[in-house]
Structure 1
Amino acid sequence: MKFIINEKAYMYEQPKTLKEVAIDLKVNQPLAATVNKRLRELNYIPTKDADIEFLSYTNADAIKIYESTLRYVIAMAVHRLYPSAKIRFNYSVSRAMLAVFDSFDGILNQRVLNDIEAEVKKIIDSDFLIERKRISIGEAINIYQKLDMPDKVEILKYRDEDYVNLYECHKYLNYMFGYMLPSTGYLKTFNFILYHPGFLIQYPRAEMDGQIPVFKDEPNFGKALKEITKWGRIIRGNSIPKMNEYAKDYTTSVDFVNMCETKHNHQLNELGDMIESNMDTIRLIGIAGPSSSGKTTFSNRLRIELMTRGLRPVMISIDDYYFGKDRAPKNPDGTPDLEHVEALDIKQFNADMLQLIQGESVTLPHFNFNTGKREKGRTIKISENSPIIIEGIHALNEKMTQSIPKHQKFNIYISPQTQLHIDNHNPISITEIRLLRRIVRDQKYRNSSAIDTMDMWPSVRRGEFKWIYPTQREANYVYNSELTYELAVLKKHAVTQLRAIPKENKHFITANRILKFLKYFKDIDDDIVPCNSLLREFIGGSSFNS
């Protein structure tokens, strides 16, 4: 067999695991590999000629395998120390996971956390093999019942295949709905931080070149996390089987959709109260958040909410202040960086906002994206009960509004924050929910394929880390834009596109991972989704679309 690795050819007479090939070639810190562009575990054995690329800590797919294995080992450690305890993993703040106990005979304090950490390190130091096993659904149900994992038993009811994969490590059995490292010793670094109501798990991040980010507490997210936990109790669990119970018939689907939408209404009402009670000082409302958070629909719904309170908000687009490609800062490859804050006319924006707040008339610019030039726009003048709403990735950036005192600004950070799970040990990525939203929206409104959207996604993510996440601390309010029912609606729009991605395409890995959990959801009809729902921004039919 001939393997092409880093443009060099290597001949092998006998099949070898990727792990063995990596050892032969002294590959530095491999976590996984692609074989003819298919993601493979290091235990995989290629049986024919192949192009192989080993993946390490700077690769997002490899880091997902690292994270899955770390969750597995933590669950294993908890099971060894506290056999009756039930631990649940959630994606959380500051690029970490939050682990909480749903059942624990005691108090989670620093001593308990130290014991868990010591057991995890013991398992890692032992370098136990992690072996994949394929068994029947019936066998899996028996195993999970003996381990008292009813959440895993429930999800198997929605599996089409008559088999299931499990991973065995030193007689411990579990499955993390993803690939795993070949042994526990591959886990090199992690941090635990006691963080009510559980503990945070930090791990290497691809966007940090495999380093663990410095922990930065986000106090504004504390309330949002508390509300997410409360919501989980209200709907009696945030797992796919629970979502499917709500989707079992039309009546329960309608009730569930309306419950989720009313949760959004409550947040809007709370925001309305906060802004109205401070309208003697608030003159500008900034709205920012990562891609596909629903900023456009939210801005319109907030505008309507404020209008019901006798206010007359004015919406101004930051995009109209673009200089154009020729004056934008350059990326390292020489292309224009249109997401850079300096791609905007900051000086003019500040001047216009200040004049409006001072009661003067201002002729706003209008950026014509067809010609790539700024043109003369509308002339406006605002009254004392007309707060200015600005929305965009730089809306919370102080540079954009440095001429306006902080007490005159009210900043809102919007993002979907969820604790939706396949089962207790397998949270669904918030980032992949946003990617799904964008895939559906881009196809609907731009006739772009999933491949086109996924080609752009790394650049979008880089812009988020550079320009959006650092400004979230400026927020006075965190608006949670998740709709717990949304994947049951998005599924039918996205599945066909994701399945159309060929196996040899570089995005097949991501598409296949998303399809693996989407297939478990029962559908909810689009017709049930209200016309002013934030979800309509992505699936179409929004009452705010002109």
Structure 2
Amino acid sequence: MYKVLINDKVYTYEENKTLESIANELGVKCLAAKVNNRIRELGYYVNYDCKVELIGFENYDATRVYDTSLRYLVIMALERIDPSIKVFFSQGVSRSIACHIEGKEVDEEFIEVLEAKLKEIVKANYKINRHRISKEEALELYKEKGYTDKVDALKYRPNDYVNTYECDGYINYMFGYMVPSTGYVSEWKFICYEGDFLIQYPRADLGGKIPEFEDAPVFTRMIKDAKEWAIRCDGDTIAKMNKHLDDQTMADFVNMCETRHNDMLADLGMKIKSNPELRLICIAGPSSSGKTTFSHRLRIELMARGIKTFKISMDDYYKNKADAPLDEDGKPDLEHVDALDVPLFNKHLLELIQGKEVASPIFDFTIGRRSDKVNKIKVPKDAIIIIEGIHALNERLTKSILKHQKFKIYISPLTQINIDNHNPINATDVRLLRRIVRDAQFRKTDPVETLAMWPSVRRGEFRWIYPNQEQADYVFNTELTY
């Protein structure tokens, strides 16, 4: 006999129970569960005292399970339409998964066929079973299916086994947990896009709704350029990166990454120098996208071209914490644009560009309000002001400056390296890892605290950063694959 705590209520069981059977008995719709705070598939058996949280579309980890399962079923459907088909997943625009089919231009007719096949698989509610097989068996399986990327990845797997998923005779490996049967995958949206197609699915931050599609041509070009470069330099999968190490070509690869960055900075520097009327550069990007490092490298690039710069801290223009807008939990929302003194910032920007001296406030983060002291600043003649922050592209912050006098730059680390062709690495996860390291190293913040803040940070990004990214005059990928 053992006890399971669910939503502050204790349930007693005698026989082994799967999480799926427990959820069904309680009438709870879910995609996965947390057992003692560890993510588990619904096929997981419990036979010991534990705390269980059944999680669905409202939970970020659960939607990751859904994403993995949906990709698995899309590949299954495509291979049943045409067994020779080769599928590649990557990051897409408008919070989607991009799907590229080798040698094929996707059209609406193809999408209709795929949609029908996927619905057929979902309706059948086939079981999805997890199996452990030897590396040798996996190698033969992947060779037979033509998964050369997975064959290459197996060379670097230290374990002598591989976990695979089987569904109605279809077998594949997915890097992530899965739902127990095809019937759980009930919602998706396919969109034809530039010869490929995008897959949208329910999101936790939207309460399990599929986001509205918003085209982003500038961001799309950035993703496309990054992917093409990664393929060209053999940096698009983990296996290829490991091969660079084996072949002792990693130093060359690192230099290629740095050269590409320098070329992009040079191109940006030329664009800025070509406009003698520019007086303000605005740099924005999501959390841990490298804004501070990028602004420093850009400053050096401009100095080399004889352009003087002057950086202004937007952080000093925060209102006192007591005067900040409140979020839905009634706490000060420091991500909100109105947490900044927008009128004063605009006034000071204009006066600085006019050559006047201003008394800039100094914000003391330790006490959550402005210091009694001020910082008197004056911009050198002909110098370009640089500002960076999550609101830097928001027109409200710089409306006092004429359009032709400012240059807006959007930056983000767009990771285009996959575990294999079916398992892309999430760019948001990369930024989270960077944030954890940065907070621990420079802000003495415990990783647990950083993880707890992350959902709030993400909400701020969707509200204040992404809606303004298409206003950018230049998009810069800060990702360094190495």
TM-score, normalization by structure 2: 0.96
Aligned residue in 1 for 2:283: 287
Aligned residue in 1 for 2:425: 428
Task: State the 1:237 CA deviation.
Answer: 4.8
Task: Tell me the SS of whatever aligns to 2:212.
Answer: coil
The aligned amino acid for 1:446 is: R
Aligned residue in 2 for 1:174: 172
Aligned residue in 1 for 2:87: 87
Q: Is the 8 A contact 1:362 1:381 kept in 2?
A: no
Q: Distance in 1 between matches of 2:19 and 2:281?
A: 54
Task: Tell me the SS of whatever aligns to 2:246.
Answer: coil
Are 2:301 and 1:305 equivalent residues in the alignment? yes
Equivalent of residue 242 in structure 2, options 244, 264, 274: 244
Q: Is the 8 A contact 1:363 1:380 kept in 2?
A: no
Q: How does 1:267-282 map to 2 (within 5 A)?
A: 267-280=264-277, 282=278
Q: Distance in 2 between matches of 1:443 and 1:36?
A: 26
Aligned residue in 1 for 2:109: 111
Task: State the 1:358 CA deviation.
Answer: 2.4
Aligned residue in 2 for 1:33: 33
Q: Distance in 2 between matches of 1:201 and 1:144?
A: 25
Q: Which runs of 5+ in 2 are unaligned?
A: none
Aligned residue in 2 for 1:502: none
Are 2:255 and 1:254 equivalent residues in the alignment? no
Q: Distance in 2 between matches of 1:479 and 1:260?
A: 14
CA displacement 1:486-519 (0-9 Å, x = unmatched): xxxxxxxxxxxxxxxxxxxxxxxxxxxxxxxxxx
Q: Is the 8 A contact 1:439 1:450 kept in 2?
A: yes
Aligned residue in 1 for 2:142: 144
CA displacement 1:268-309 (0-9 Å, x = unmatched): 1111111111222x2211101111111001001111111222
Task: Tell me the SS of whatever aligns to 2:383.
Answer: coil
Aligned residue in 1 for 2:450: 453
Aligned residue in 2 for 1:184: 182
> Identity across aligned pairs (percent)?
52
Distance 1:458 1:287, change over 3 A: same
Q: Distance in 1 between matches of 2:121 and 2:416?
A: 28
Q: Distance in 2 between matches of 1:365 and 1:481?
A: 31
Are 2:374 and 1:373 equivalent residues in the alignment? no
Task: State the 1:163 CA deviation.
Answer: 1.1
Aligned residue in 1 for 2:45: 45
Q: Is the 8 A contact 2:105 2:195 kept in 1?
A: no
Aligned residue in 1 for 2:332: 336
CA displacement 1:510-529 (0-9 Å, x = unmatched): xxxxxxxxxxxxxxxxxxxx
Aligned residue in 1 for 2:404: 407
Aligned residue in 2 for 1:317: 313
Q: How does 1:427-506 map to 2 (within 5 A)?
A: 427-485=424-482
Are 2:221 and 1:201 equivalent residues in the alignment? no
Q: Distance in 1 between matches of 2:398 and 2:418?
A: 39
The aligned amino acid for 2:422 is: H
Bigger CA drift: 339-348 or 207-216?
339-348
Bigger CA drift: 398-407 or 147-156?
398-407
Q: Distance in 2 between matches of 1:344 and 1:437?
A: 25
Aligned residue in 2 for 1:518: none
Task: Tell me the SS of whatever aligns to 2:140.
Answer: helix
The aligned amino acid for 1:65 is: V
Task: Tell me the SS of whatever aligns to 2:282.
Answer: strand
Q: Distance in 1 between matches of 2:145 and 2:253?
A: 31
Q: How does 1:59-138 map to 2 (within 5 A)?
A: 59-101=59-101, 103-104=102-103, 106-138=104-136
Q: Distance in 1 between matches of 2:24 and 2:452?
A: 32
Q: CA RMSD in A?
A: 1.6
Task: Tell me the SS of whatever aligns to 1:210.
Answer: coil
Bigger CA drift: 464-473 or 228-237?
228-237
Q: How does 1:353-364 map to 2 (within 5 A)?
A: 353-364=349-360
Q: Distance in 2 between matches of 1:203 and 1:134?
A: 29
Task: Tell me the SS of whatever aligns to 1:247.
Answer: helix
The aligned amino acid for 2:469 is: Q
Q: How does 1:497-536 map to 2 (within 5 A)?
A: none
Q: Distance in 2 between matches of 1:320 and 1:387?
A: 19
Q: How does 1:12-31 map to 2 (within 5 A)?
A: 12-27=13-28, 29-31=29-31
Q: Distance in 2 between matches of 1:30 and 1:116?
A: 26
Q: Is the 8 A contact 2:295 2:388 kept in 1?
A: yes
Q: Is the 8 A contact 2:357 2:376 kept in 1?
A: no
The aligned amino acid for 2:320 is: G
The aligned amino acid for 2:459 is: R
Q: How does 1:532-543 map to 2 (within 5 A)?
A: none
Task: State the 1:50 CA deviation.
Answer: 1.9
Task: Tell me the SS of whatever aligns to 1:132.
Answer: strand
Aligned residue in 2 for 1:58: 58
Aligned residue in 2 for 1:538: none
Q: Distance in 2 between matches of 1:376 and 1:444?
A: 29
The aligned amino acid for 2:206 is: M
The aligned amino acid for 1:53 is: E
CA displacement 1:330-373 (0-9 Å, x = unmatched): 23333322222111111110001111222323232222334542
The aligned amino acid for 1:391 is: E
The aligned amino acid for 2:406 is: K
Task: Tell me the SS of whatever aligns to 2:322.
Answer: helix
Q: Is the 8 A contact 1:356 1:382 kept in 2?
A: no
The aligned amino acid for 1:442 is: D
The aligned amino acid for 2:267 is: E
